[in-house]
Amino acid sequence: MTLPPITLVSLQVGQPQTLGQADATDPMDHPWTTGFFKQPVSGPVWLGSTHLEGDGQADLKNHGGVDKAVLAYSADHYDLWKLHLNLPHLPPGAFGENFTITGQTEAEVCVGDVYAIGDAVVQVSQPRKPCWKLARRWRIADLTQQVLANGRTGWYFRVLQTGLVAAGQAVALRERPCPEWPITRAHQVMHHDLNDKAAALALADCALLSDNWRDKLRQRIGG
């Protein structure tokens, strides 16, 4: 059986912007500041240690940084979402991702995976936990909860080697040190199996998981 190629089919960046009106009656129209609106970029883009050139986050406490340098999302989910949300023109970047990748989903990506993309080398640091801004972007009140329930979350990369990346490039797996921790399983432990302390401890012991997630898991188990 030939596996489909893994490809960076679209690359998006965007800067924070403030939207909404103070006197709006609909809460969805109240003022908010977000870097969620990413636009596709053609041609090479510099991937630094904490972000893509031209990209920014409004909430630096919860987004960006070394372990969240790049947000990736599976292009393979888009047809499902288009039907489910009745949004037939849902574009790449609709989930706020920098990298839209075809050929793999959360079931095939593992914490600690190392990939070469263009001149850069990246490593999977954690699943993505979507925030309220996803729901606000598409004016669907429970969209964040839907993503948490179905596990089509996306994942974050840390950058091991900076360099130029571009849409259309192959995403080549270099190393898989933690095959026991696909994104789907890590997501399940963090967000659904809240009473399984043994699983939480095992995930917290994964040295390649982001420090933020490891700390939260240890707090849960009291250690």
Q: What is the pLDDT of residues 105-159, one digit of tens each?
A: 999 999 999 999 999 999 999 999 999 999 999 999 999 999 999 999 999 999 9
Given pLDDT bands bounded at 50, 70 and 90, which one contains residue 2? low
Q: DSSP letters along 170-195, please?
A: BEEEEE-S-TT-BHHHHHHHHHT-TT
Q: What CA–CA distance (Å, rounded) separates 126 from 129? A: 9
Region of 149 please: left (phi>0), alpha (psi -120 to 50) or beta: alpha
Domain 7-178 superfamily per CATH: PK beta-barrel domain-like (2.40.33.20)
Q: What CA–CA distance (Å, rounded) separates 1 from 139? A: 41
Q: Does the pLDDT of residue 47 top 90, yes or no?
A: yes
Given pLDDT bands bounded at 50, 70 and 90, which one contains residue 52? very high
Tokens 């908010």 appear where? 32
> How many helices and strands in the chain, by DSSP H and E?
6, 12
| Residue 128: Cβ within 10 Å count | 23
153 is written with which tokens? 């979350």
Residue spans per domain, the chain: 7-178
Question: Which amino acid is located at 23 in the chain?
Answer: D
Instruction: Look up the pTM and report it.
Output: 0.94
